[in-house]
Amino acid sequence: MTLLDVKDLRVAFDTPRGTVRAVDGISFTVEAGRTLGLVGESGSGKSVTSLAVMGLHRGAAVSGSIKLDGQELTGLGERELGVVRGRRIAMIFQDPLSSLHPFYTVGEQIAEHYRVHFRAGRKAGRARAVEMLAEVGIPEPARRVDEYPHQFSGGMRQRVMIAMALACEPELLIADEPTTALDVTVQAQILDLIARIQQERGLGVVMITHDLGVVARVAHEVLVMYGGRAAEQAPVDRLFAQPAHPYTRGLLDSLPRLDDADDAPLRAIPGSPPSLIAPAPGCSFAPRCARTIAASAEEHARCLAERPALDPLGTGHWAACHLPMVPSSGKAL
């Protein structure tokens, strides 16, 4: 069942330097019980996309369609959006400490939305908080429910945030870099927790990350964004086995490998993200693309002049590239 259906989403906002086209025409779906990995560098538009889905894009111009279980969300009033945000879509962020209030116990904070949306009393709210803390794997939940955020470690605080997000039984969870601030072991535990809860509850999840390692761990489908547009979309196995877009390939090459020596340098993609105010006429990845440099003069000219459309390359696989690296081309990079 398609839970979230986003079509031709555009988000633009005015700045003194010009209009920023932060998201410039992306489409994707999230099925119930599945996880979409939304991948890109900072400034690729992935967080702006999620804020638009949440209706939190204040001051920005949004066009396109965002449907949750068939209901159009664009154009909803603040009141109706508040209900969608509180109950149907929940979000967790990178830094739980800035989202948790230091003066309230975690139990009070987990219960807060639940009590509002379910018109529950204090006792029922506390019971719900204990239940949620247990579900996210916090030991001794009946005791820890009365503690304050600073009494929890970073990983435990992120578990509290997840408990808060899930207390109202949302259909969709948006997780924006939820593990970036955590050390590797804790990161893996939190990702596994999200994956487990997602399976158990049949949740739709949007996992926003700059890290394809995170995607490999939790995602079913992947949307790779570059400069506010889709560079590539594919089922996760296909994306890792047969990346078609040179940018995806660059992200894969920059993943640390198990067989690398400890001191092997991480290969980042050289260059910087494209301008979102005055994008170049052709492919926005061209200035950083090794493939176009190796291409013929004619192909290179096309990359600079013509914006590549998102073309189908197989079942569920699309890439926006004039020279996709699909094996049939016989031209591996």
As measured in angstroms, the least distance from the Cβ of 80 to Mg ion is: 26
> Can residue 292 be called a binding residue for ligand SF4 (CB under 6 A)?
yes
Nearest residue to the partner Mg ion, using Cβ? 47
As measured in angstroms, the least distance from the Cβ of 198 to ligand SF4 is: 32
C-alpha 318/C-alpha 85 separation (Å) is: 31
> Can residue 160 be called a binding residue for ligand SF4 (CB under 6 A)?
no
> Can residue 291 be called a binding residue for ligand SF4 (CB under 6 A)?
yes
174 or 283: whose CB is closer to ligand SF4? 283
> Can residue 322 be called a binding residue for ligand SF4 (CB under 6 A)?
yes
> Can residue 224 be called a binding residue for ligand SF4 (CB under 6 A)?
no
With beta carbons less than 8 A apart as the criterion, state whether 235 and 316 touch: yes
E strand or H helix that includes residue 156: helix 154-166
Q: Find the binder of ligand SF4 among 170, 246, 250, 274 (CB under 6 A).
A: 246
With beta carbons less than 8 A apart as the criterion, state whether 64 and 9 touch: yes
C-alpha 26/C-alpha 35 separation (Å) is: 17
Q: Which residues contact 136 (CB under 8 A, 6 or more apart)?
A: 159, 160, 162, 163, 166, 193, 197
As measured in angstroms, the least distance from the Cβ of 225 to Mg ion is: 11
At 78, list the tokens: 């603040």
Binding mask 175-194 toward ligand SF4 (x if CB under 6 A, else -) reads --------------------
Q: Which residues contact 257 (CB under 8 A, 6 or more apart)?
A: none
Helices and strands (H and E) in the chain: how many: 13, 12
Count the alpha carbons within 13 Å of 326 in the hemisphere toward its beta carbon: 18
> Can residue 239 be called a binding residue for ligand SF4 (CB under 6 A)?
no
Cβ count near 298 (within 10 Å): 7
> Can residue 229 be called a binding residue for ligand SF4 (CB under 6 A)?
no
Q: Find the binder of ligand SF4 among 238, 289, 317, 318 (CB under 6 A).
A: 289
> Can residue 283 be called a binding residue for ligand SF4 (CB under 6 A)?
yes
47 or 105: whose CB is closer to Mg ion? 47
C-alpha 297/C-alpha 324 separation (Å) is: 17
C-alpha 106/C-alpha 87 separation (Å) is: 19
- Which option in Mg ion, ligand SF4, none does residue 47 bind, with CB closer than 5 to 8 A by kind? Mg ion
> Can residue 244 be called a binding residue for ligand SF4 (CB under 6 A)?
no
- Which option in ligand SF4, Mg ion, none does residue 308 bind, with CB closer than 5 to 8 A by kind? ligand SF4
Strands 317-319 and 35-39: unpaired
Chain centroid to CA 106: how far? 25
- Residue 61 pairs in a beta bridge with 12
As measured in angstroms, the least distance from the Cβ of 177 to ligand SF4 is: 25
As measured in angstroms, the least distance from the Cβ of 277 to ligand SF4 is: 20
- Site residues (CB under 6 A) for ligand SF4? 245-246, 283, 285-286, 289, 291-292, 303, 308, 321-323
